Chains A and B, each alone.
Chain A
Amino acid sequence: MIQFENLTKKFKRQTVLDNIDLSIGAGDRIALIGSNGAGKTTLIRCLLGEYTCEGSVTVDGVSPREDRREVLKRIGFVPQLPPPLKMPVGQLIRFAASLCDSDPAQMEHVIERMGLDPARIRKLPFVKLSGGQKQKLLIGIALGRQSDILIMDEPAANLDPEARHVFFDLLAEKQAHSAMLISSHRLDEVAALVNRVVEMDQGRVVLDDHVADDVDIDSNLHCRIELKRAEPAFNRAVEDWGFNSTEDEHVWQGIVAGPDRLRFIGFISRYTALLKSISMDEAVE
């Protein structure tokens, strides 16, 4: 599907991508990881046809630089930093839908599923939305159109747990026939979403590994936590995960999205001294 061949990108004398060979097929869900300056964003921009480069990038044999429309019609992109657009949300949706030959209602439907009310924010300038709202909107635009390649740069970083659930569900709906490239600084943020990890360092691919694909993106875990004593800081944090308490804030119950399990365990590990018991069970539909 996507083919990078001998891809090299230099900025003046600095080599940012160094002879990259990478092949991505339908059904691949790739975590593109690496530290700052590793070349992740440059690789993504080459795939979007935004950078000139040596070597070649093709999507089913077509160059995104030479035939932008044909390639970019297939790509849904969520940037790490939302652009500071002053245009109202409604106009942005119409603009994107018009360029993508998509139905704006479909984008609004996905945005609504992400927890935003399109009617309420339609007239607000995009730049005035909160970080999380911008992220939800851009995800809605990317997933609410006909695309079989998803490129996302830290897509879930600003999302609340509820929106993350929906986001994972949306990805699950697309996973069979799409290729996904999810860029992140931290593997634990995206580990459970992907079936392949590509690590970059100083412009080179230093790891390309397939990983166990046992976690369904749209699975859920019923979780019950019992505490030795109530703790306000813990209460606030666990409420952000959508948990409810019973028995005087000593027992908390809630649902954790399957792909978020590693992140949730990371959160819980900060409060191990408070824990009396914890259980996580795969929820049965």
Chain B
Amino acid sequence: MHLLLTAYTDILESLRARWFFVYSGIFGGIVVLLFLFGLTESRIMGFTGITRMMITYIQLSMAILPIFILITTVRSVAGDREAGVFEYLLSLPINLNSWFWGKMLGRFVVVFLPVFLALVGAIIWGVANGADVPWNIFLYYSGLLFSLSWCFLGIGMLISTLARSADVAQGAAFIVWLALILFLDLILLGVMIRESLNPDLIVAMALVNPLQVFRTAAMLLFDPQLVLLGPSAYLILDHFGEKGYLIWSLIYPVGIGTLSGWIGYSIFLRSDLP
């Protein structure tokens, strides 16, 4: 009960925050811009219409969603603690369990819904204009966005718990994001070639990087042989198969987010709250 109350309060608190308007505006704006620039009419690798628009949208989301979620989460959670919000609200009789997970749940709703609704808006527009809607891709991409949002929200909550100030939290969030970007496949392949490292190791590193998992899965739907990915595709497809990898890419980031959130919660329980 208190978990839902905390989530609801956090949602309302976020809906009044400036970052939320910027965040929603950016994802809504991306969809509008994609329509305006006629991406639905263009053709790439044989894809046109809504499918083409969704592929571009998902690629753009991968680039900006993680850093947006990380920065807004750590700034608002660590910022609230610094400003004395925790001191007051945690003086009320609420379980820390309900507080932490309620906050994470509420935060998830506000970071996932704008991204998802922008996608839904594009579908509605497409249906209204008689375009063919690729429902399987839509459902899968929605799942990917869900999974990615939860993953980075969990990491953001962990950083917020560890960092004692909003500035430190923001710096740490940026470094985490930068590290994940650095280990995207092109850089990995370059390192592999130069250092003659074991390819299995490099691919394993790519498979534990949630950004890479997300990116590969997004490719897999329109490029089942992962031609774009190069040699590492063989290892991925040999180990997982197409369906196996699609399932892995939904479950694994959720697991990372939940694990990070749980570690954050365990530290939160044992540390000073305000």
Contact = CB atoms under 8 A, between A and B. Distances in A.
A51 to B, nearest CB: 5
Interface string A74-102: 01010101111111000100011011100
B90 interface: yes
B43 interface: no
A99 B84 CA distance: 19
B90 A48 contact: yes
A84 B271 contact: no
Interface stretch (B9-17, B113-121, B132-140, B234-242): B9-17
B9 A83 contact: no
Contact of B272 (A50, A72, A73, A85): A50
A48 B91 contact: yes
Given A96-B92, A99-B93, A52 B271 contact: yes
B273 A99 contact: no
A72 B87 CA distance: 13
Contact of A87 (B16, B93, B271): B16
Given A81-B84, A100-B93, 18 more contacts: A50-B91, A51-B273, A51-B274, A52-B270, A68-B93, A71-B93, A77-B91, A79-B91, A83-B84, A83-B88, A84-B83, A84-B84, A85-B85, A95-B5, A95-B92, A98-B5, A99-B2, A100-B92
B198 interface: no
A68 B94 contact: yes
Contact of B87 (A68, A75, A83, A96): A83
A87 B271 CA distance: 27
B273 to A, nearest CB: 4
Contacts of A87: 9, 12-13, 16
A83 B271 CA distance: 21
A45 B95 contact: no
B89 interface: yes
Interface of B: 2, 5, 9, 12-13, 16-17, 83-96, 270-274
Contacts of A52: 270-272
Given A86-B16, A91-B12, A45 B87 contact: yes
Interface string A40-61: 0000010010111000000000
B92 A79 contact: no
8 contacts: A48-B90, A50-B86, A50-B272, A72-B93, A77-B88, A87-B16, A91-B9, A91-B12
Nearest to A50: B273
A125 B86 CA distance: 18
A228 interface: no
Given A75-B91, A83-B87, A68 B13 contact: no
B83 A68 contact: no
Given A50-B273, A83-B83, A68 B95 contact: yes
* Those 3 A-B pairs whose CB atoms lie nearest each other, nearest first: A72-B93, A77-B91, A83-B88
A75 to B, nearest CB: 7
Nearest to B94: A99
Given A99-B5, A100-B93, A79 B12 contact: no
A99 B17 CA distance: 24
A229 interface: no
B13 A86 contact: yes
A123 interface: no
A72 B85 contact: no
B164 to A, nearest CB: 10
Contact of A73 (B12, B83, B87, B93): B93
A103 to B, nearest CB: 15
A68 B84 contact: no
Given A45-B87, A51-B272, A95-B5, A85 B92 contact: no
